[in-house]
Chains A and B, each alone.
Chain A
């Protein structure tokens, strides 16, 4: 276990930012740290990296107490802070080399790793530009290249994809997947699809409390509700479907019905019975994917 966070608490004045937060992350897996804005994601990450102090609790990185000795572990952590702060006056390559120096790398290593990271992040054509001249997507790459330059065992990316356009989003996601091998990688986001696309493990946090922690597969199987979508040529009546689940009309109006249910198999049979009894002409009957989006809403709003 390369990162173990246990019973972390933090207050900002009267407000509890973190309340008994515990989770762990292991090498070779990507952990998605999911929560609405202001849930405590950044605070947790800042505490792990030693930027903020915790009120109570422990963080261990590779078996060592990270809160007692942050500087000793700093060389093993790669951190991309929220909003990706960079020296806008620096040139891309100059900035990366400077960063290598700060992390105590030897000059031969700095050059080799800088070349490697520039290649991996696709910054070849931008390496002699000033960071201030780059677009947001490229700046994000510079930030990620910086975080990974010193080959850290634990990588912490705080909202690496916020504010990117869809193409850049896919690029950065692929980059994360590519660089994650053998590392413990944590990234925070409030976008559910991202977690589904990239992560093996998910931690959901809301109002400073961990609501759910585990593998993505486990989390999906926990989801209690399934949606069925029925579309017919005739107008439907909600009362026909009461008893099967919770019916409501879909976005297309009274010819489309969305049914929330616990048992998809049984519900599907009952719906088809109604269709044949009423002699409706069926256009489609779909089972909505159990997506994290609904799950996320259930978890963060249900409590």
Chain B
């Protein structure tokens, strides 16, 4: 399982696309946080990184399916899936190894944003005046939402043997789960609205990104990850 995990990571960095995706992510986030006047921290005037936590899920909706699209779809297209499936690794092990590799990549993508926090803390007045506890709470939320999107992306990749289709499906699923359900909750009324809102990823993410680490939000997102990884294993078993 370890060797599959390592192979996934080297395969990602062995190709230009790997670097390209990470660089594009950082450029997009960098522009949103520092340059675009609508969202720039510098124009905002307060020493916090709200715009980072507000806009990153939007970028993740595209970025993470782009990382995960090849994960299973490419194995199926190239026929190497047959090598994996006839190996002693169980489907669960294969899915977990691939998922953990994706997690590492997501983690590497948001790691440089720690530098943003450091810069902002230096820009604060007095210097170093940043709500670090709040920041790390929100950052954990970001990591959790990234982890959830990765599970959704992996699931999308298991549905097809074409990377592009996996990407489009992944973006669509992330979009529906993150934005769509919230929008739907706004359209219906009564108890339904409450339950639909509860299912929405953005509801739990927003709760986390306020900097309050609520175990209910964490468990909800872990549950979503579990559901999507389980569904991936089931899909692979059927094929």
Residues of A participating in the B interface, judged by any CB pair closer than 8 Å: 46, 49-51, 70-72, 74-75, 77, 79, 81, 83, 85-90, 94, 97-104, 146
B82 at the interface (CB under 8 A from A): yes
CB distance from A78 to the nearest CB of B (A): 10
**Structural contact, B84 and A51, CB atoms closer than 8 A:** no
Residues of B contacting A98 in the complex (Cβ-Cβ under 8 angstroms): 3-4, 6-7
**Structural contact, B78 and A85, CB atoms closer than 8 A:** yes
**Structural contact, A87 and B11, CB atoms closer than 8 A:** yes
**Structural contact, B88 and A101, CB atoms closer than 8 A:** no
Residues of B contacting A146 in the complex (Cβ-Cβ under 8 angstroms): 83
* Residue of B11, B83, B87 touching A85 (CB-CB under 8 A): B83
Extra 12 A-B pairs, beta carbons < 8 Å, given A89-B14, A104-B88:
A51-B85, A74-B86, A74-B87, A81-B79, A85-B83, A87-B7, A87-B80, A88-B78, A98-B3, A98-B7, A99-B83, A101-B2
Q: Determine the residue in chain B with the shortest Cβ distance to A75.
A: B88
CB distance from B147 to the nearest CB of A (A): 25
**Structural contact, B3 and A71, CB atoms closer than 8 A:** no
Residues of B contacting A97 in the complex (Cβ-Cβ under 8 angstroms): 3
* Residue of B15, B82, B90 touching A81 (CB-CB under 8 A): B82
Bound complex: CA of A257 vs CA of B90, how far in Å?
62
B59 at the interface (CB under 8 A from A): no
Q: Determine the residue in chain B with the shortest Cβ distance to A84.
A: B79
Residues of A contacting B82 in the complex (Cβ-Cβ under 8 angstroms): 46, 51, 81, 85
Bound complex: CA of A297 vs CA of B10, how far in Å?
50
Residues of A contacting B104 in the complex (Cβ-Cβ under 8 angstroms): none
14 of the cross-chain contacts (CB-CB < 8 Å) are A46-B82, A51-B82, A70-B86, A75-B88, A85-B78, A85-B79, A85-B82, A87-B11, A87-B78, A97-B3, A98-B7, A99-B87, A102-B3, A103-B87
